[in-house]
Structure 1
């Protein structure tokens, strides 16, 4: 016999012993059609054939679990990596293997001929060498993932990154000769706050709480400090003179307010007299292009701003704002540093 017949033994449910010794059998496919359904088989012998490789598809799993004796002696086994499964199986099930290990030897390759199959010990490292292409693929994958991760973080936290770079530049320039001046003591307020009435909640709940209650600064806001009876223009003029710097709270509501645009013109005049560092714009939200006026664009283009960010970037924003408010006038302005980012 050279080939094992299909759908023949599978009909012999009561067959207990099957001897196919000393034939020319080399290998076979579809083991279920050859050995399947042999529920009574206990002893299978394929001794002295031309079988070179036994692998996990050679016999059905349920057949191997039922066999009491299996004889594959005197076959010319190939001691190659394809034989690894059979070597591992022998370690756990060798007791049912007849004439093992004496009659199980390597028939090829030539340098292994005559060596007992027991002494052929393939390893994963030898049989499954690491392909350099895998390393290249992994590195490329890491680079691509890192690129998209950094890109998405940078896009999402652009304002925070700019604020952080801004603080680094301020710290660097302090080491090169910044001398704190006490000019803020000449003013009654640390800052005059220009904002839209629709943003009053953020100004009162967040800005005032942080700068006045926690940091001890004094701010001038029109809802609280303007003198009743004086005109708005008079109040603005008088309290701007009492304020060291100007905070401009920029939002879409601010951009749509004609009154706020007039205030921008007023503070721009002070900026022209005292320098860029006297004004600190705070952007609460991205301004829609349809709301951007020429006055506001001029302010934002000529005076670097701090972007408010809730969550992870909040602490960084407040730190940058305090640095801007406490920075002395008369030195190279922090706004100049920020504009170079």
Structure 2
């Protein structure tokens, strides 16, 4: 059966479904139509399909060939097939096919096409399928050429190669697991670092807050950021043992008061004679 008219997919289905005894079907240049996904397996005697010069794409071909076990010859050249994989040519179809023509399609030479290239090499080697116009059957001229990407455009499909490492698809669960593990490890390290240096951080924040609150002398009073603040002559009261006085005067006070600019209330140095210790602490 031959046709060269505009036919929609539903038209093709309704026209061919009753033809149960059909053995060869040729559909050429049906610009508005494609292969119905559940038609071919309903034609139990169909041996040869020629579907050339149409708008057939990879996914549609795969659905059309699903569960098809009678086809021995398939010609789908000059369509819009870019990628061919195990879903495009199902296992049931590959068991029975003996003649194949997929030439003059705009193949996308990426990792997704490596299965097709390997399969072509295998059937060429064991001579189980005759592939029309593929190198090895016709060495002088090949119409299996890369259409994209630009780096492979117009090059012979047989010379196309992508390394196995490049084409290895990572398990998405593994990728998510590794990423999640890295994030969790980073959080654990951050928490441990914050815990270990918690007093350093608190001291730094205190210094930062205090530096912003130090009053500046302006007419009318003590201001910081435009607001009046209460000024304390000491930053902290130092509770200590009398046995530590030498260490306090020699090491602690120079470190705290000279280097860090804090003012400590030392009982022996700053208390008012006759005042209570409690009063000194509250000051």
TM-score bucket of the superposed structures, by smaller chain: 0.3 to 0.5
User: TM-score when scaled to structure 2?
Assistant: 0.44
Larger RCO (CA within 8 A; separation ≥ 6): 1
